[in-house]
Amino acid sequence: MAALDFETHGEVVRVRLSHWRSRLVGYDVSAYLHRGALVDTGFPAAARDVARLARDKGIGAAVLTHHHEDHSGGVGALAASGIGVAMAPATRDALVALTRVPLYRRITWGAPRPPGALPAAALPGGLTLIPTPGHCADHHAVWDAERGILFGGDLFLGVKVRIAHPEEDPRLLVRTLEAIAALEPAELFDAHRGRVPNARDALRAKAAWNAELIAKIDARIDEGWEDAAIRDELLGGESFSGWLSGGEYARISFVRAVRRTKR
Ligand SMILES: [Zn+2]
């Protein structure tokens, strides 16, 4: 059983989802109700609760920001309830190709199941998907252009995020953040942080902070530094989640991602 907490922000309802194992490591994730749609679908251990909520609220369709299991965990249960889930083709491909996720993620969120047949679903009315790669290749923001409301998924997370998954591309993320800030969203809802005050400034601040950090890492790579030494010097050593995830969701992964994407 997952815990569901509700916050109302104008016409947007934040559904904050957690369960005891995710709270133990300090994580929760949010889905959003907006314009009769559900944005993101929570984690596998919350799937039945999310599907029940969607039925109770008369949700017509859902839409995914990306394939990670804390966003896509409800896809199968929603489909079984007759609620279609729209997503980018790249997200569909990633879900279908799903292999086992690392143990710490299975413990935190529950084990994702292969979604089986994913019936194609139309995007909910008034919403569009904007490619926002960086966090992962299939990442998209859900944009309500009429109201200037952006559902950022894992685009933002915070200004100074020093940890990364191995597949992240921090340089691409900087370009994405600048492009999304240029849209001048009036509101930004983040999948982990909730409503982000001063959305445009926050996106620009994150882009600037990351660009500066990447430049410092590049300089040390050019000087021949090892990854762990760069991490210790610039990121203050390894993080709790870095240890917990065996170096997967970690500060060392941020440094490696910068090195991997260096020209
Ligand atoms: Zn993610």
Q: How many CB atoms lie within 10 A of CB 223?
A: 8
Task: Give 219 Cα–ligand 1 centroid separation in angstroms.
Answer: 28
Task: Give 210 Cα–ligand 1 centroid separation in angstroms.
Answer: 18
Residue type, 102: P
Contact 138, 66 (CB under 8 A): yes
Distance CA 116, CA 24 (A): 30
- 12-34 pLDDT, tens digit each: 999 999 998 888 888 899 999 99
Mean pLDDT of 136-162: 96
Distance CA 107, CA 173 (A): 28
Task: Give 135 Cα–ligand 1 centroid separation in angstroms.
Answer: 7
- 197-253 pLDDT, tens digit each: 999 999 999 999 999 999 999 999 999 999 999 999 999 999 988 888 888 889 999
Task: Give 51 Cα–ligand 1 centroid separation in angstroms.
Answer: 20
Task: Give 224 Cα–ligand 1 centroid separation in angstroms.
Answer: 31
Contact 98, 114 (CB under 8 A): yes
Distance CA 47, CA 72 (A): 9
Residue type, 171: R
From the list 110, 117, 203, the residue with the least C-alpha distance to 155 is 203
Q: Tokens in use for 71?
A: 């966003």
Task: Give 235 Cα–ligand 1 centroid separation in angstroms.
Answer: 21
- State the pLDDT at residue 46: 95
Inform me whether the pLDDT recorded for 162 exceeds 80.
Answer: yes
- State the pLDDT at residue 136: 95
Distance CA 175, CA 204 (A): 10
Task: Give 153 Cα–ligand 1 centroid separation in angstroms.
Answer: 7
Task: Give 191 Cα–ligand 1 centroid separation in angstroms.
Answer: 9
Task: Give 136 Cα–ligand 1 centroid separation in angstroms.
Answer: 7
Residue ranges of domains in the chain, CATH in brackets: 1-125 (3.60.15.10), 154-184+197-263 (no CATH)
Distance CA 27, CA 245 (A): 14
84-86 vs 128-131, strand pairing mode = unpaired
Task: Give 154 Cα–ligand 1 centroid separation in angstroms.
Answer: 5
Distance CA 251, CA 243 (A): 10
Distance CA 229, CA 233 (A): 6
Task: Give 209 Cα–ligand 1 centroid separation in angstroms.
Answer: 20
- State the pLDDT at residue 160: 93
Contact 134, 169 (CB under 8 A): yes
Task: Give 186 Cα–ligand 1 centroid separation in angstroms.
Answer: 23
Contact 257, 166 (CB under 8 A): yes
- State the pLDDT at residue 164: 93
- 51-66 pLDDT, tens digit each: 999 999 999 999 999 9
Q: Tokens in use for 142?
A: 């859900």
- 82-125 pLDDT, tens digit each: 999 999 999 999 998 877 777 778 888 888 877 777 777 889 88
Q: What does pTM read for this prediction?
A: 0.94
Helix 199-222 to helix 170-182 angle, to the nearest 10 degrees? 150
**Region of residue 106 (left: phi > 0; alpha: psi -120 to 50; beta: else):** alpha
Task: Give 69 Cα–ligand 1 centroid separation in angstroms.
Answer: 8
- State the pLDDT at residue 219: 98
Task: Give 68 Cα–ligand 1 centroid separation in angstroms.
Answer: 5
